[in-house]
């Protein structure tokens, strides 16, 4: 196939039959976030490269291997966002939102770009839903953000997914930890990959997140950060756990979680699914108390998370979960002849203005083909309009599911349709109730 007929490697289309699932999931995300006071923020798909170098960290996989970076025609270095936190914090600082009421709570849905090896659950263009809570230092903020992620997952029907938490401390307690890591990894220096040899000097904690099998095996026995936490960080972590318990949120402590981005401090967490193979982390997040200051803003403790929507969809599929299907058309009007077509156009306009989903023939088909199409698209009702019906101001409305017919007046078609739809809904509700009694 030539390139013109082929999507770029690692990108996916969301086809019309799948888009209602995406709309449902995104609606659940934004409306659940709203329950906790998070408002949507929209930021550009690309930023100055510096935005990501400063925040994500120049020893991370994302910056070292995965960014789509190019010079624009004005010679600026531009990068397609590999994640949204950096751009959101850039915007929050630039627009002075940090000077307003704190905490500032924002959420987003958007595409991300990483040059990775495409495989199940790993794409070059993927989508994230995430939240950022800026200006909240207390441990109950950590618990709220985790609770929100949990509720989002529940709201789309994912209940079988585990929460793993850890604390990676603050820059103070990490000094000792870095020393211990350096010592440990130096003893295994000859086995580490090239990238990790560089990390050993600059940021040994990053080795813990290396995907190479040899490095990760060595990392498995490395000292764990929980043993190096200072009293304040220890206390914070204990309190986060108490709040999670109070909110009835199950978790396990996994001392090996460090997260793939440099900006995290103290609490880090992941929601991990056993149903989607190797790329099992659906949601990752944590605290990033130093990030806002690091990006040139005031020092405000903050936290957030991001969920990969494609991985979420994979969990839903592999767990056999059905999402509510898209609404079918309320009515299909089949028109016979030019006069009927004009009348149908008038009726369609009026019905749609009243909020009904209505379709009619726009391909010049005969009656049989029109009805076949009405069936295909799953129209709930149909109506055939010819000269006779127009002359009598009356037509027969057919329920496509059971064939029941209703005589309706054309000049009040909207009212008639409204009445019939509601009566039928009421009847089926009564049936449901009496069957359950």
Q: Which is nearer to Mg ion, 261 or 420 (CB)?
A: 261
Cα distance between residue 273 and residue 44, in whole Å: 30
139 interacts with, out of Mg ion, ligand ATP, none, CB within 5 to 8 A per kind: none
Torsion of Cα atoms, 262 then 240 then 269 then 146, to 10°: -110
- Residue 35 CB, shortest distance to ligand ATP, in Å, is 22
225 interacts with, out of Mg ion, ligand ATP, none, CB within 5 to 8 A per kind: none
Q: Which is nearer to ligand ATP, 128 or 370 (CB)?
A: 128
Please give the residue whose beta carbon sits closest to ligand ATP in the complex.
Answer: 308
Q: Quick check: helix, strand or coil at residue 416? A: helix
**Residue (of 163, 170, 140, 143) closest to 253 by Cα position:** 163
- Residue 209 CB, shortest distance to Mg ion, in Å, is 9
- Residue 111 CB, shortest distance to ligand ATP, in Å, is 11
**Residue (of 198, 228, 233) closest to 63 by Cα position:** 198
Cα distance between residue 148 and residue 201, in whole Å: 38
The pairing of beta strand 125-134 with beta strand 302-308: antiparallel
Tokens representing 27 are: 């609606």
- Residue 123 CB, shortest distance to ligand ATP, in Å, is 4
302 interacts with, out of ligand ATP, Mg ion, none, CB within 5 to 8 A per kind: none
Q: Which is nearer to Mg ion, 128 or 167 (CB)?
A: 128
Q: Which is nearer to ligand ATP, 177 or 263 (CB)?
A: 263
**Contacting residues for 312 by C-beta, under 8 A, at least 6 apart:** 25, 153, 156, 158, 282
- Residue 335 CB, shortest distance to ligand ATP, in Å, is 47
Q: Which is nearer to Mg ion, 83 or 132 (CB)?
A: 83
- Residue 52 CB, shortest distance to ligand ATP, in Å, is 11
Cα distance between residue 435 and residue 437, in whole Å: 6
Q: Which is nearer to ligand ATP, 206 or 380 (CB)?
A: 206
128 interacts with, out of Mg ion, ligand ATP, none, CB within 5 to 8 A per kind: ligand ATP
Beta bridge partners of 71: 77
Please give the residue whose beta carbon sits closest to Mg ion in the complex.
Answer: 260
R_g of the chain computed on alpha carbons: 28
- Residue 211 CB, shortest distance to ligand ATP, in Å, is 7
Q: Exposure string (b/e) for 147-186, b if CB count within 10 Å is 16 or more?
A: bbbbebbebbbbeebebbbbbbbbeebbebbbebbeebbe
- Residue 239 CB, shortest distance to ligand ATP, in Å, is 24
145 to each of 90, 164, 244, 287, how far by Cα in Å? Answer: 21, 14, 10, 10
10 Å CB burial of residue 385 (0-12, 13-18, 19+) is buried
Q: Which is nearer to ligand ATP, 83 or 132 (CB)?
A: 83
Q: Which string of x and - marks every residue 258-287 that binds Mg ion (by CB under 5 A)?
A: --x---------------------------
Q: Which is nearer to ligand ATP, 260 or 386 (CB)?
A: 260
308 interacts with, out of ligand ATP, Mg ion, none, CB within 5 to 8 A per kind: ligand ATP
Whether the CB-CB separation of 200 and 182 falls below 8 Å is answered with: yes
206 interacts with, out of ligand ATP, Mg ion, none, CB within 5 to 8 A per kind: none
Q: Which is nearer to ligand ATP, 308 or 329 (CB)?
A: 308
User: What residues make contact with ligand ATP under the rule CB under 6 A?
Assistant: 83, 114, 116, 121-123, 126, 128, 260-261, 279, 281-284, 306, 308, 310-311
Beta sheet of 46-48, edge-to-edge order: 46-48, 77-80, 68-71
Other residues' Cβ atoms within 10 Å of the Cβ of residue 432: 10
Q: Which string of x and - marks every residue 222-261 that binds Mg ion (by CB under 5 A)?
A: --------------------------------------x-
Q: Which is nearer to ligand ATP, 204 or 308 (CB)?
A: 308
Whether the CB-CB separation of 234 and 87 falls below 8 Å is answered with: no
- Residue 311 CB, shortest distance to ligand ATP, in Å, is 4
- Residue 69 CB, shortest distance to ligand ATP, in Å, is 16
Whether the CB-CB separation of 44 and 94 falls below 8 Å is answered with: no
281 interacts with, out of Mg ion, ligand ATP, none, CB within 5 to 8 A per kind: ligand ATP
Contact residues toward Mg ion (CB under 5 A) are 260
């Amino acid at each position: 196939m030539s390139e013109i007929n082929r999507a770029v490697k690692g990108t996916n289309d969301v086809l019309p039959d799948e888009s209602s699932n995406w709309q449902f999931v995104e609606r659940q995300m934004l409306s659940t976030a709203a329950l906790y006071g998070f408002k949507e923020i929209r930021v550009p798909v690309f930023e100055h490269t510096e935005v990501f170098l400063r925040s994500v960290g120049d020893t991370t996989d994302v910056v070292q291997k995965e960014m789509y970076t190019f010079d624009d025609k004005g010679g600026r270095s531009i990068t397609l966002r590999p994640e949204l936190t950096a751009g959101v914090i850039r915007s929050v600082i630039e627009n002075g939102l940090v000077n307003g009421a704190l905490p500032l709570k924002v959420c987003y849905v958007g595409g991300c770009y990483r040059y990775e090896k495409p495989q199940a659950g790993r794409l070059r263009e993927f989508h994230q839903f995430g939240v950022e809570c800026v200006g909240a230092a207390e441990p109950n903020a950590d618990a709220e953000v985790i609770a929100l992620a949990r509720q989002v997952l529940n709201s789309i029907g994912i209940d079988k997914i585990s929460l793993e938490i850890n604390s990676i401390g603050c820059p103070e307690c990490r000094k000792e930890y870095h020393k211990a890591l350096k010592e440990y990894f130096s003893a295994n220096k000859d086995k580490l990959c090239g990238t990790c040899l560089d990390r050993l000097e600059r940021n040994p904690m990053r080795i813990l997140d290396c995907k190479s099998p040899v490095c990760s095996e060595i990392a498995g026995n490395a000292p764990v950060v929980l043993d190096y936490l200072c009293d304040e960080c220890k206390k914070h972590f204990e309190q986060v756990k108490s709040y999670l318990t109070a909110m009835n949120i199950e978790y396990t402590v996994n001392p090996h979680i460090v997260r793939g981005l440099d900006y995290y401090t103290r609490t880090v967490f992941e929601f991990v699914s056993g149903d989607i193979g190797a790329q099992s982390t659906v949601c990752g997040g944590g605290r990033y108390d130093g990030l806002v200051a690091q990006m040139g803003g005031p020092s405000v403790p903050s936290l957030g998370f991001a969920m990969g929507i494609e991985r979420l969809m994979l969990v839903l599929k592999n767990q056999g979960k059905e999402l509510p299907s898209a609404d079918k058309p309320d009515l299909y009007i089949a028109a016979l002849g030019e006069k009927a077509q004009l009348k149908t156009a008038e009726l369609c306009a009026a019905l749609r203005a009243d909020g009904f989903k209505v379709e009619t023939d726009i391909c010049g088909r005969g009656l049989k083909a029109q009805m076949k199409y009405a069936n295909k698209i799953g129209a709930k009702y149909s109506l055939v309009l010819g000269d006779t019906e127009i002359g009598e101001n009356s037509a027969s409305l057919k329920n496509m599911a059971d064939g029941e017919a209703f005589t309706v007046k054309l000049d009040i078609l909207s009212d008639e349709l409204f009445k019939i739809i509601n009566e039928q809904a009421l009847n089926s509700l009564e049936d449901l109730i009496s069957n359950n009694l």
